[in-house]
Amino acid sequence: EILLLHDNARPHTSLRTREEITKLGWTVLPHPPYSPDLAPSDFHLFGPLKDAIRGTRFEDDESVIQAVRTWLRGQDKSWYRQGMHALVPRWRKTVQVDGDYVEK
C-alpha cells in the first residue's frame, strides 16, 4: 500500500490530481493547512545541512549548489530512511493536535 503525504497546495488538491491518486489506489494522509512538523526538509534535512556548510564562503550560486549536492550524495541511505520513519510519529502527533505547531 502506498501512503501519500503532501500539503494542501492547489496542484495537490486539484480534481485531476485527486483522480490520478484514486486511479493509482494510493491512500492520502490528512495534512493540516500549514505544518512544518510534517516537512522532512524542515525537521531532518536543513539542520544537518546548515551544520555541514556553516562557515563556508561561496563564490557564487553554483558553488552552493555543488556543495549541497555533494553533501546530499554523501549521506547514507539509512540517514534518509531515518528521516522518513521519523515522519510517522510526527504525523500522528500533528493530526492529534489538529495541526497546532508541535515542535519548537
pLDDT digits (tens, 9 = 90+) for 14-62: 899 999 999 999 988 877 666 666 777 777 888 899 999 999 999 999 9
33-103 folds as Nucleotidyltransferase; domain 5 (3.30.420)
CB 89 within 8 A of CB 22: no
pLDDT above 90: residue 70: yes
What's the pLDDT tens digit per position in 73-100? 999 999 988 888 888 888 788 777 766 6
Domain with CATH 3.30.420.10 in the chain: 33-103
Please give the single-letter amino acid code of residue 79.
Answer: W
* 3-state DSSP percent of the chain in helix, strand and coil, to 5: 60, 5, 35
**How many H helices and E strands in the chain?**
6, 2
Q: What are phi and psi of 27, to 5 degrees?
A: -100, 125
Q: How confident is the model at residue 65 (pLDDT cuts 50, 70, 90)?
A: very high
CA distance from start to end of the chain: 32
